[in-house]
Amino acid sequence: MNKKEIVVFKDNDFEINVNLDLGEETVWLTQKEISTLFGKSQSTISEHIANIFKEGELDEIGNIGKTDIANSDKPVKVYNLDVIISVGYRVKSNRGVLFRKWANSILKQYLLDGYVINEKRKDSINYSQLFGLLNNLSNAGVINNITSEGLLTFLNSYQRGLEILDNYDHQTLIIPKGLQDTYKLTYEECIKVIRESSFKDKGDLFAIERDNSFSSSIQTIYQTYDGIELYPTLELKAANLLYLVTKNHSFIDGNKRIAAIMFLYFLNKNNHLEDKGIKRISNETLATLTILIASSKPEDKESIINLIMVLIA
């Protein structure tokens, strides 16, 4: 879980402290806090959370975090807004609807404030963090899920260059300012592209949607607040599209392939897929990125988004 900020949710005489996580654009509550929020026993909340993951409504990866609390010797699990909302639906809580609206409103306001602040500072990649992430995934055996050719292409093409820049620029690299996108995706268009892709005959479960989160991912990259885009550049939109579609597990099967398809389609429609006839990102590197995203922790999101932006700049 990223560095948190405490905000207070109020409903008449009821109030509860909520951990706001701007890095992940969500809020976090412990099981006990969710129990307090909805006025249900902790055992009831525990059962609903277990069923949410068991039934595949949400995936545990990315939706569960850990935090340290007073009077506890070990970290305690916390659950993000998606889990909280799902529990609210299951316990039929009117307060759940109010909480969802409140949380989204708070997040939009803080994100807008953050955008204004970010425009005034120099964005950078922390390479020691990025290399640490790659090493952790390697040690965990994640790289076994991709070909050795793909991994070597990824590392040989970029790691040496990144290390040189790292030494040259004191472990930081300026994020490209980015270009203005010229083409806007629609949900209907994206679904058509997926169903007409070369993967369409790879199984009955391919591209079957679990929920409406795929549509939400597309809407998110075009999200505005008070007329200001939260993801104002082509690179930001592309990077977040790849991350969100990979991470949200919107489909029963094929999430990483679909994320890659949408990423390439978005770049192509915005005339940014190639540079002087050469692909900006190889198939092997893209496959590696989707594995990296799927296996990463929520706190790694910013580093991964920045990496994608640099690779396609």
Written as six digits, the tokens of 90 are 């299951």
Give the Cα separation of 34 and 36 in Å (integer).
5
Asked whether the whole model's pTM tops 0.95, one would answer no
Q: Quick one: CA dihedral 168, 174, 180, 181, positive or negative?
A: positive
CA-nearest of 16, 44, 18, 15 to 29 is: 18
User: Sign of dihedral through CA atoms 209, 212, 215, 220?
Assistant: negative
Class for domain 127-312, per CATH?
mainly alpha
Q: Rounded to 10 degrees, what is the CA torsion of 222, 29, 21, 97? A: 30
- Dist. CA 143–CA 222, nearest whole Å: 33
Q: What is the DSSP letter of 174?
A: B
pLDDT tens for each residue of the chain, 313 residues long:
454 678 888 898 899 988 888 767 788 999 999 999 999 999 999 999 999 999 888 888 888 988 877 666 788 899 988 899 889 888 888 888 888 888 877 777 665 554 433 443 334 445 555 556 655 555 555 444 444 445 445 544 444 444 434 443 444 545 667 899 999 999 999 999 998 887 766 667 888 898 999 999 999 999 988 788 999 999 999 999 999 999 999 998 888 999 999 999 999 999 999 988 888 888 877 887 888 888 788 888 887 888 888 788 8
Q: Which two tokens stand for residue 201?
A: 């005959």
